Chain A
Amino acid sequence: MAKPPEPLNRAAILGPPYPQPVLGNPVSSLMESGVGNCYPGLEFDIRQLDVRFFPGLTFEFLGLEPAGPDGTQGVRLVNAEAESDPLFDDPAPWLKALKRQLNGPEGGALGDGDWYLHAVAQHGSRIELYDFNVFQNAVQMTPYEGETCWWIIRGVEADVDLTVELTQRAPSGQPLGNPVVLHGRRRHFLDDTGMIPDVYRAGELTASMCSPWTHDFRDCACQYWASNHPDVVLGEVVGPQAEDGNAAEDAAQPVTFLDWMRRRGPAQDIAAASTQERARPERYDPYEINLRWQELDFVLHGTETDGTPEMPPLTALHAAYPSLQDVITALTDDLAPLEFTLSMVYLYAFFSLRAPEDISEDERRDWPDLADDLRAARQLVLSVALSEMTHMRWVNQVLWTLDRAGLYPKGKYKPIVQPHSDASKTAAAESSDLEDRVLGLRPATPDAIADFIAVERPANRLDREYAGLVDHLRANADGYPAGLYELAVRIDSDGLQHYQKFRDVKLILSRYEHDTSIYLRDVKLADADDPAVADALGLLADIVDNTIKGYQAERADDMPRADACIQAARSAMRSFQVEAEALASGARKPGESVGVPFFAAWQGHGDGQ
Chain B
Amino acid sequence: MTDKGHTAGTCACKSANGTACAPWCGRDPMSGKIIGVYLDPPMAIARVGGARHPMDAYTWEIDENPHRGVQTRIVPAPSLHPRSERGDGHWPHRLVVHRPERITFKDDHGHIKPVAPFFELWARVQDDTGSTVSVPVTETFLTARGASLADVVFTVDAGNRKAQSRTKLASCAALAHVVFAADSYRPHRLDAISPRTRDQVPLVRPDAPLPLGSVQTFKPNRDDWSCQTRLDQVRLRFTPGKGDTFGPPDAGIATASPRTPGDFEPAVTEYGTAHAMTRPENRFLSPDTPWSGFNFRTGGTPKWPTPQDSYDGAREGAGDGWGTIDDTCDVILQASLTIGGRKFRAMARAFAGPPDFAPDRRPMYSIRDELEDRELPSPVPDIDTTPDEILDLFRRIFETASLVNLDQRRAWALAGNAGMLGGSGPDDPDWDDGISPRLGPKSMRADDAPYAQITPDYTPGQGDTRVPSAGPHEALPYTMVVQQVHARMADSPVLREFLARRPDRVRQIIRPPFGRVADLPARVGIRKPAEVPVGKWDADPTDGADPRQPSETAPPRYRDPRDVMDIAYDMRMPPFMRHSMGVPLSITRRQYDMLMGYLDRLETDPLWRADAASGKREHDNG
Contacts and interface: CB of A to CB of B under 8 A. Distances in A.
Contact of B360 (A69, A120, A198, A300): A300
B519 interface: yes
Interface stretch (B142-150, B155-163, B181-189, B436-444): B155-163
Interface in A144-162: 144-148, 150-152, 154-158
Contact of A39 (B79, B243, B582): B582
Interface stretch (A201-209, A525-533, A596-604): A201-209
B94 interface: no
Given A274-B474, A379-B477, A35 B367 contact: yes
Contacts of A196: 43, 349
A194 B43 CA distance: 8
Contacts of B457: 382, 386, 573-574, 577
B488 A494 contact: yes
B544 interface: no
Given A125-B518, A299-B357, A274 B67 contact: no
A522 interface: no
Interface stretch (B1-9, B25-33, B309-317, B535-543): B309-317
B165 interface: yes
Contact of B165 (A19, A150, A207, A260): A207
Contact of B330 (A28, A158, A202, A373): A202
B301 interface: yes
Contacts of A496: 67
A343 interface: no
A466 interface: yes
A219 interface: yes
A499 to B, nearest CB: 11
Between B66, B106, B164, the greatest number of chain A beta carbons within 10 A of the residue's beta carbon is seen for B66
24 contacts: A2-B41, A15-B62, A15-B391, A18-B61, A21-B44, A29-B117, A125-B522, A202-B157, A204-B161, A206-B329, A207-B161, A210-B311, A212-B328, A224-B579, A272-B474, A274-B408, A280-B258, A298-B358, A375-B471, A401-B614, A482-B614, A484-B493, A497-B484, A557-B609
Contacts of A124: 518
B379 interface: no
Given A290-B324, A387-B484, A482-B614, 15 more contacts: A15-B62, A26-B58, A34-B363, A209-B328, A211-B310, A215-B310, A219-B315, A222-B578, A401-B493, A404-B614, A489-B491, A492-B67, A494-B487, A504-B473, A559-B501
Given A18-B59, A274-B411, A285-B256, A298 B359 contact: yes
Contact of A33 (B118, B359, B487): B359
B229 interface: yes
B403 interface: yes
B515 A155 contact: yes
A307 B110 CA distance: 12
Q: Pick the 10 closest A-B CB pairs, nearest first.
A: A203-B159, A372-B471, A221-B262, A208-B305, A483-B615, A67-B300, A36-B370, A493-B69, A151-B561, A483-B493
A122 interface: yes
Interface in A250-294: 250-251, 253, 255-257, 259-260, 271-277, 279-281, 285-288, 290-291, 293-294
B458 A386 contact: yes
B461 A355 contact: yes
Interface string B405-418: 10111011000000
Contacts of B369: 36
Between A9, A209, A226, the greatest number of chain B beta carbons within 10 A of the residue's beta carbon is seen for A226
Nearest to A292: B275
A206 B162 contact: yes
A31 B349 CA distance: 11
A239 B303 CA distance: 55
Interface stretch (A44-52, A102-110, A323-331): A44-52
Contact of A404 (B479, B603, B613): B613
Contacts of B453: 570
A131 B301 CA distance: 19
B460 interface: yes
B164 to A, nearest CB: 7
A174 interface: no
Contact of A2 (B40, B230, B579): B40
B375 A375 contact: no
A521 interface: no
A314 B60 contact: no
Contacts of A154: 514, 580
Nearest to B361: A227
B40 A272 contact: no
B358 A127 contact: no
A412 interface: no
Interface in B309-354: 310-312, 315, 324-326, 328-332, 346-349, 351-354
A31 B367 contact: yes
B420 interface: no
B163 A379 contact: no
Interface in B497-516: 497, 500-502, 514-516
A69 B302 contact: yes
User: For this complex, into which size category does the number of interface residues on chain A fall?
Assistant: 35 or more
A296 interface: yes
Contacts of A290: 245, 275-278, 312, 324
A199 B540 CA distance: 46
Interface string A422-458: 0000000000000000000000000000000000001
B254 interface: yes
Interface in A59-118: 60-70, 72-74, 76
Contacts of A243: 67
Interface string A394-426: 100100010011000000000000000000000
B357 A298 contact: yes
Between A121, A232, A356, the greatest number of chain B beta carbons within 10 A of the residue's beta carbon is seen for A232
Between B64, B399, B492, B562, the greatest number of chain A beta carbons within 10 A of the residue's beta carbon is seen for B64
Given A132-B523, A271-B474, A221 B297 contact: no
B268 interface: no
Given A205-B330, A486-B70, A36 B78 contact: no
Contact of B329 (A61, A203, A220, A294): A203
A76 B1 CA distance: 60
Contacts of A308: 58, 73-76, 102-104
B584 to A, nearest CB: 10
A268 B102 CA distance: 28
Contact of B517 (A152, A219, A277, A300): A152
A378 B119 CA distance: 55
A63 B549 contact: no
A589 interface: no
A493 B492 CA distance: 15
Contacts of A147: 306, 581-583
B534 interface: no
A23 B475 CA distance: 43
Interface in B446-499: 453, 457-462, 467-477, 479-481, 484, 487-488, 491-494, 496-497
Interface in B10-69: 38-50, 55-62, 64-69
Between A26, A155, A193, A386, the greatest number of chain B beta carbons within 10 A of the residue's beta carbon is seen for A26
Given A155-B517, A206-B161, A25 B118 contact: yes
A502 interface: no
Contacts of B71: 301
B315 A286 contact: yes
Contact of B310 (A150, A216, A288, A404): A216
Contacts of A213: 48, 243, 326, 328, 353-354
B361 A212 contact: no
A470 B66 contact: yes
A217 B319 CA distance: 19
B494 A490 contact: yes
Given A299-B361, A490-B70, A63 B493 contact: no
Given A123-B517, A300-B360, A291 B276 contact: yes
Contacts of B262: 219-221
